[in-house]
Amino acid sequence: MVNPKSSHRPTICYRPIRPSDLEILERLHADVFPIRYESEFFQNVVNARDIVSWAAVDRGRPNGQSDELIGFVTARIVLAKESEIGDLLRYDPSKPDQTLVYILTLGVVEAYRNLGIATALIREVIKYSLSIPTCRAVYLHVISYNNPAIHLYKKMAFKCIRRLQGFYLINGQHYDSYLFVYYVNGGCSPCSPLVCHSCGELRESGLKMDPLPKEE
């Protein structure tokens, strides 16, 4: 594997994922995630079927690899009222078309980590969500022991709003997940008793959270 920190000066660019990325996209997912994704998922990503995506590539890479994925983010638009966080938005019944952007997968090749690539990929998702007038938030799940990812989301001002017990099942074992949200276009939490209860649980778990906005 090329080490960009010593072999050459990386020139990172971002572009949509396309059909020619299929093989490497599948390989990277298998490399960075402990769970397997169906081939249909990859087909949907590369053909942009209900999924938006961005690839990071290093134009400074030699040997015809300058267009090969070294990072990716995939996301989908969901209807707020049908999502699991519908209750965490100040839902306005007069606007039934409110949407959210759900980040499905995010990963960076190990040799390219800590260069700000995931930060830039998430910024692309946030920019995209801001361009959708009906969109109220970007959200995602992260397994509770994934400290680099949790650090990243907190650094980017995502708010941790829930701990979901046993959310992931990996090799027969259950793991909790945190649910992180980044509000956009005036979206915000209603600070319901349910939300405040979740905050308490998270404080007990040692995960610091930003204060929730006060109810008007």
Ligand X SMILES: CC(C)(COP(=O)(O)OP(=O)(O)OC[C@H]1O[C@@H](n2cnc3c(N)ncnc32)[C@H](O)[C@@H]1OP(=O)(O)O)[C@@H](O)C(=O)NCCC(=O)NCCS
Positions touching ligand X (CB under 6 A) are 32, 106-108, 113-119, 142, 146-149, 151-152, 155
- For ligand X, the closer of residues 44 and 146 by Cβ is 146
Q: Is the dihedral of CA 173, 155, 54, 101 positive or negative?
A: positive
- For ligand X, the closer of residues 51 and 98 by Cβ is 51
Do 105 and 143 contact (CB within 8 A), yes or no? no
CA distance 134 to 96: 9
Q: Is 72 helix (H, G, I), strand (E, B) or coil?
A: strand
Paired sense of beta strands 135-143 and 99-108, if any: parallel
- For ligand X, the closer of residues 16 and 116 by Cβ is 116
Minimum distance between the CB of residue 93 and ligand X, rounded to whole angstroms?
32
Do 56 and 117 contact (CB within 8 A), yes or no? yes
Minimum distance between the CB of residue 190 and ligand X, rounded to whole angstroms?
25
Look up residue 78 and give its two tokens: 């969901």
- For ligand X, the closer of residues 147 and 171 by Cβ is 147
Minimum distance between the CB of residue 82 and ligand X, rounded to whole angstroms?
22
- In the numeric block, the tokens 């022991």 are attached to 145
- For ligand X, the closer of residues 91 and 175 by Cβ is 175
Backbone angles phi, psi at 194, to 5 degrees: -60, -45
Minimum distance between the CB of residue 30 and ligand X, rounded to whole angstroms?
12
Minimum distance between the CB of residue 192 and ligand X, rounded to whole angstroms?
25
Q: Is 29 helix (H, G, I), strand (E, B) or coil?
A: helix
